[in-house]
Amino acid sequence: MTELNEEGGLVAEVAHMTPEQRAEHEAEVAEAVAPDREIEVEVGETLLEMRDVTLRFGGLTALDGVSFGIRRGEILGLIGPNGAGKTTCFNAMTGVYRPTSGQVLLEGKPLAKAPRHKITQLGVARTFQNIRLFDEMTALENVVVGADARHRTSVMGALLRLPRHHHEERQAVERAMALLEFVGIADRAADKAKNLPYGYQRRLEIARALATEPKLLCLDEPAAGFNPAEKEELMALIRKIRADGYTVLLIEHDMKLVMGVTDRIVVLEFGKKIADGLPAEIRENPAVIAAYLGVPDDDAA
Ligand SMILES: Nc1ncnc2c1ncn2[C@@H]1O[C@H](COP(=O)(O)OP(=O)(O)O)[C@@H](O)[C@H]1O
Ligand SMILES: [Mg+2]
């Protein structure tokens, strides 16, 4: 793939740029990553609302009357002990499961029975607690597939060299490359996903989710299995994503980590919301402290 080689060369070039050139280049990458959005989004009106959502699996109530809103432009943390219902929230928001009662609203409109691909098109993207990539595809192809999910024109067909898609192909590949660079893994664009180091795979999942041009990016324990230095780098990436105009919902088990990066935090325990507030308020909240007592910070959920 010639584009890849050219772009691969670009990555090497970045290393030799002056600080000014590098800043300009990074601004260009950021713009390519978020083409249709204001670069600095104010934290504003509610983007997604969980309204009294109950979700049962047989006799088990995974979510019990949960209500909270995610405001445009914020990083909202969703925390709670294992089994609290965090991933189930994502599943309810992305149409994997339907609430038994209550509603999920995006920009004020109920998602109701919208199928998953429709919800992707409406602007909700997610990553998975257990990485899900196309192992045999390259990193770049994994991201192009993400863009496909958005546009529903066959960019993958374009990659297979159908001539009438040539323009879309170039655009898709360029944006995918920009996304890989944005998340910091462009140097391995041509490698199969299965051959990437674990940390790269986690970042690739984020790039693929961003490729769908979401309004809301939901990250399910993106730092799971990372050491403290890797976690810090990932939090820096999440801040950068928000600075680029995205709204982020972050599930993270590590309390210290989540305190450092989020604007607000919602806490679940046994399917119920037990707290909702600023990180400093959450830290002092007795119910939250009790919920977390005896739960090691790094317990992988
Ligand atoms: N598909 C499912 N079928 C049955 N029970 C489920 C299913 N998904 C989740 N649960 C249960 O719902 C509860 C919440 O799970 P989950 O949302 O994965 O928690 P968390 O992500 O906070 O660790 C748990 O008790 C879990 O076992
Ligand atoms: Mg989970």
In order of start, what are the domains of the chain with their CATH numbers?
Answer: 34-123+214-301 (3.40.50.300)
- Measured from the alpha carbon of residue 129, the closest ligand is 2
Q: Are strands 46-57 and 109-110 parallel, antiparallel or unpaired?
A: unpaired
> Mutation test of ligand 1: which of 57, 219, 253 has the most ligand atoms closer than 8 Å to its C-beta?
57
* 115-168 pLDDT tens trace: 998 999 999 999 998 888 999 999 999 999 877 766 555 555 555 555 556 677
Q: pTM for the complete prediction?
A: 0.85
Q: Which residues line ligand 1 (CB under 6 A)?
A: 57, 60, 62, 80, 82-88, 301
**How many other C-beta atoms are found inside a 10 Å radius of the C-beta of residue 264?**
19
Report the distance separating Cα 123 and Cα 28, nearest Å: 23
**Would you say residue 73 has pLDDT above 70?**
yes
The protein residue whose alpha carbon is closest to atom 3 in ligand 1 is 57
* 185-233 pLDDT tens trace: 999 999 999 999 999 999 999 999 999 999 999 999 999 999 999 999 9
Top pLDDT among 9 and 141 is at 141
Q: What is the pLDDT of residue 167?
A: 73
Nearest ligand 1 atom, CA 58: 4
Q: What is the pLDDT of residue 160?
A: 59
State the chain's maximal CA–CA distance in angstroms: 62
Compute, in angstroms, the gap from residue 289 CA to the centroid of ligand 2: 20
- Tell me the pLDDT band of 112, cut-offs 50, 70 and 90: confident
Q: What is the pLDDT of residue 9?
A: 47
Share of the chain above pLDDT 70, in %: 83
